[in-house]
Amino acid sequence: MARPYYVTTPIYYVNDRPHIGHAYSTVAADVVSRYERLRGKPTYFLTGLDEHGLKIERRAKEEELAPQDFVDRMAAPFRLAWEELECAHDGFIRTTSAQHRENVQALWKLMDARGDIYLDDYEDWYCVGCESFKTEKELLEGNLCPIHQKPVERIKERSYFFRLSNYTKPLLDFYEAHPDFVQPEARFNEVRSFVKEGLRDLSISRTSFRWGVPVPEDPEHVVYVWLDALMNYVSALGGPAEEGEAPLYDEFWQSSEAIKHIVGKDILRFHAIYWPAFLMSAGIRLPTQIWAHGWLTVNGEKMSKSLGNFLPPGPLVEAFGADVLRYYFMREVGFGQDGDFSHRNLLNRYNGELANGLGNLMNRIVASIVKKNLEGRVPEVDFDALSDADRQLIDKANVAAQEAAKHFEALAFHRALDSTWELVSAANKYVDSTEPWKLAKQDDKTRLAEVCYTVLETLRWLSIMLFPVMPKKCNELRAQLGMPPLLPTEQVDLWPSAWGGLRPGTQTQTATPLFPRFDESQERSILERLGVEDTPTQKKAAAMKETKQSENDFIEFDDFLKVDLRVAVVKEAERVEKSKKLLKLIVDAGEGRPRQILAGISEHYAPEDLVGRRVVIVANLKPRKLMGLESQGMLLAASDDTGLSVLGVDKDVEPGSPAK
Ligand code: MSP
């Protein structure tokens, strides 16, 4: 019996309109929920809006609106964005709802009854952008918040406190007992070290503004916006409640196999430390996993209004369609890592993978061979008579489906798509080598039928394996195969595992191509419409492409082989004292002993972002001393006018593997 599965996104602040950072989280959660639903699990997907707090109160004032009117107005673009992006959430929580307010107060009372809340005076720095207190140590020069780069405010007021300090040990014990609680692993290490330093009690109420949930029995105070916000995950289900009072809470919180919160790396601390501590205090079950994804830049730059590159998802959906954008989000960046949203890369992936890969496979067989030679019908074949080549493709399909499933379960979406694309490529190669167009001319109908069936059935498998990421396109693909749309059903596992689901005689349809190729002028006009200009580096690269290389510009292969390029795993990373640029890395290059490498990248990477990453190094460079430390190799990185990116590998190859 498949057990319930609960997946959530952060609830978004409504001070601004949705952008692709929000869309990235929401699409990821939608992909998870669609995958789990396909597997027959009762699934609940929650998203929503964080509508309280000082930041919202101030924005409403700027707009000369009452806070409630302001948040009501801002809710619509979020709902629309998720609809446009095919994000089929089951719940949409708004923290200004009465149900939520009551549940926040209920949580407060439970924590209070445990003796974990007390009143005291408080004075500290506060960042309104983060809605969070900051220690002096965290601030940048000039008292700036390290995330928002804006001045923090000094806050002094009477406040209720939560005895977070009491939870240092229980949290560490919990982490120990649940080694998958935070993903990716490197982020879990950060959380553990933070908690190990000892936790300070947390201020959980404010008196200097009104826009929030009143504290029970003391309405002068409003509940701290993060305590209010985190509670959304439980209040949306109607809890905490007595059994039977809130069926959603019973099913998806109390009896769930998985409660997964997808969050951005910037809000991990709130989810991995405060939230479990609040729940422990209230005696409520804890979530099973917090998944922290990385941040997206846009064409190499941090997204910000002042740079004018604040990217709403709507125009992109209009230009490419929801499924293509979803595919790009999930394929381009390893979930958990930072990445870049680049319009050019999107176009490249579209043409290279969707149009030339999957679209081409579809066109060659369904729209061409089957239509012209088999009256558009799925042919009948004798499975016992299949050739080795057919069997190899079937084996590939089995491996790809199992691998993709494993990766979807681990939220490694890019890997799930890698595995799926291995099948797409294998199927295209199979078509190249079996040459069905020749079989058609030779009038070898039996072999032609075998080849066409094998590809059509592969396409049927693909229509399921890609459904979590591209639901609409997959149903279009199925319609072309003469199959009904996928209808996930509880307790029915629809993931492909048995070959031969496609019935002989089924009438295929040739509608418009699934992924028509964009030619250069179409690409240019899309980019123009979206207001995207080439960066100076792109212009330079294009100019270089045009100037022909002369013979003298080439090197011999042997020259290249002199450079010992190897994959290494970063084990430790720290800043070099007194150096603005240098990081000291300890890497495992597969030599049985660590190597020390100094890299001038500290303006672009925080040390903790590198630990655990697979990088590429030049291993036979003469060691040299920098700032008194020896560097035993060089880390490879690419740079353009917008920044620098460390080179990596997209699979977990063994440390020490040569790169050539
Ligand atoms: N309201 C809080 C969350 C409360 S959850 C109980 C909040 N809201 S937010 O609107 O500021 O951010 C929501 C999410 O968007 C965060 O997970 C954040 O990491 C994510 N992103 C914001 N900008 C982003 C990118 N540029 N790239 C990827 N995600 C980013 O924090």
Q: What is the mean pLDDT of residues 58-73?
A: 95
Q: What is the mean pLDDT of residues 494-520?
A: 94
Q: Tell me whether the CATH fold assigned to 5-293 matches the one assigned to 549-646.
A: no
Among residues of the chain, what percentage have pLDDT more than 70?
A: 96
Mutational pocket test of ligand 1: of 8, 15, 27, 50, the residue with most ligand atoms within 8 Å of the beta carbon: 50
Model confidence at 170: pLDDT above 60: yes
The reply to whether 548 belongs to the active site is no
Model confidence at 551: pLDDT above 90: no
Q: What is the mean pLDDT of residues 200-216?
A: 94
Q: What's the whole-model pTM score?
A: 0.82
Report CA(340)–ligand 1 centroid distance (Å).
16
Residue 12 in contact with ligand 1 by CB distance below 6 A: yes
Q: What is the mean pLDDT of residues 16-36?
A: 97
How much is the pLDDT for 302? Answer: 87
Give the residue whose CA is nearest to atom 21 of ligand 1: 21
Distance (Å) of CA 208 to CA 63, 214, 223: 20, 13, 12
- Quote the strand ranges of 289-434, DSSP E: 289-293, 296-298, 339-341
Q: What is the mean pLDDT of residues 78-102?
A: 97
Model confidence at 546: pLDDT above 60: no
Model confidence at 457: pLDDT above 70: yes
How much is the pLDDT for 535? Answer: 63
Q: Is 27 helix (H, G, I), strand (E, B) or coil?
A: helix
How much is the pLDDT for 552? Answer: 57
Residue 25 in contact with ligand 1 by CB distance below 6 A: yes
498 DSSP 8-state letter: S
Tell me which architecture the domain covering 342-533 has in CATH: Orthogonal Bundle (1.10)
Q: Is the peptide bond preceding residue 313 cis, with omega within 30 degrees of 0?
A: no
pLDDT tens readout for residues 317-367 = 999 999 999 999 999 999 999 999 999 999 999 999 999 999 999 999 998
Q: What is the mean pLDDT of residues 518-532?
A: 90
Residue 215 in contact with ligand 1 by CB distance below 6 A: no
Report CA(130)–ligand 1 centroid distance (Å).
10
Give the residue whose CA is nearest to atom 30 of ligand 1: 21
The reply to whether 19 belongs to the active site is yes
Mutational pocket test of ligand 1: of 7, 22, 47, 227, the residue with most ligand atoms within 8 Å of the beta carbon: 22
Among residues 41, 89, 127, 414, the one annotated as catalytic is 127
Q: Higher-confidence residue: 307 or 155?
A: 155
Give the residue whose CA is nearest to atom 13 of ligand 1: 12
Residues 276 and 171 sit within 8 Å (Cβ to Cβ): yes
Give the residue whose CA is nearest to atom 5 of ligand 1: 10
Q: For the chain, how big is the Rg over CA atoms in Å? A: 27
Q: Give the Cα-Cα-Cα angle 371, 376, 382 (nearest 5 degrees).
A: 115
Residue 230 in contact with ligand 1 by CB distance below 6 A: yes
Report CA(474)–ligand 1 centroid distance (Å).
29
**pLDDT band (50, 70, 90) for residue 550:** low
Tell me which architecture the domain covering 549-646 has in CATH: Beta Barrel (2.40)
Ligand 1, closest atom to CA 10? 5
Q: What is the mean pLDDT of residues 479-487?
A: 97
Provide the β-strand partners of residue 264: 293
Residue 267 in contact with ligand 1 by CB distance below 6 A: yes
How much is the pLDDT for 547? Answer: 60
Model confidence at 548: pLDDT above 60: no
How much is the pLDDT for 452? Answer: 97
Domain boundaries, the chain: 5-293, 342-533, 549-646
Residues 191 and 175 sit within 8 Å (Cβ to Cβ): yes
Q: Higher-confidence residue: 188 or 136?
A: 188
pLDDT tens readout for residues 270-303 = 999 999 999 999 999 999 999 999 999 998 888 8
Report CA(2)–ligand 1 centroid distance (Å).
31
Mutational pocket test of ligand 1: of 9, 25, 234, 268, the residue with most ligand atoms within 8 Å of the beta carbon: 25
Q: Higher-confidence residue: 102 or 651?
A: 102
Q: What is the mean pLDDT of residues 592-601?
A: 92
Model confidence at 540: pLDDT above 90: no
How much is the pLDDT for 592? Answer: 86
In one letter, which amino acid is 290?
I
pLDDT tens readout for residues 425-442 = 999 999 999 999 999 999
Model confidence at 122: pLDDT above 70: yes
Q: Is 319 helix (H, G, I), strand (E, B) or coil?
A: helix
Report CA(117)–ligand 1 centroid distance (Å).
28
Residue 262 in contact with ligand 1 by CB distance below 6 A: no
The reply to whether 580 belongs to the active site is no
Among residues 41, 55, 87, 130, the one annotated as catalytic is 130
Among residues 61, 156, 196, 302, the one annotated as catalytic is 302
Residue 264 in contact with ligand 1 by CB distance below 6 A: yes
The reply to whether 305 belongs to the active site is yes
Ligand 1, closest atom to CA 15? 10
Report CA(133)–ligand 1 centroid distance (Å).
17
How much is the pLDDT for 306? Answer: 65
Number of Cβ within 10 Å of residue 526's Cβ equals: 18
Pairwise CA distance, residues 74 & 70, whole Å: 6
The reply to whether 302 belongs to the active site is yes
Mutational pocket test of ligand 1: of 266, 273, 275, 303, the residue with most ligand atoms within 8 Å of the beta carbon: 266
Tell me which architecture the domain covering 5-293 has in CATH: 3-Layer(aba) Sandwich (3.40)
Q: 555 — alpha (psi -120 to 50), left (phi > 0) or beta?
A: beta
Provide the β-strand partners of residue 634: 618
Give the residue whose CA is nearest to atom 12 of ligand 1: 12
The reply to whether 130 belongs to the active site is yes
Model confidence at 545: pLDDT above 80: no
Please state, rounded to an integer, the average pLDDT across all residues of the chain: 93
Residue 296 in contact with ligand 1 by CB distance below 6 A: yes
Among residues 148, 196, 445, 660, the one annotated as catalytic is 148
Ligand 1, closest atom to CA 266? 19
Helices assigned H by DSSP within 231-380: 232-235, 247-248, 268-269, 275-282, 313-320, 322-332, 343-349, 360-362, 371-373
How much is the pLDDT for 41? Answer: 98
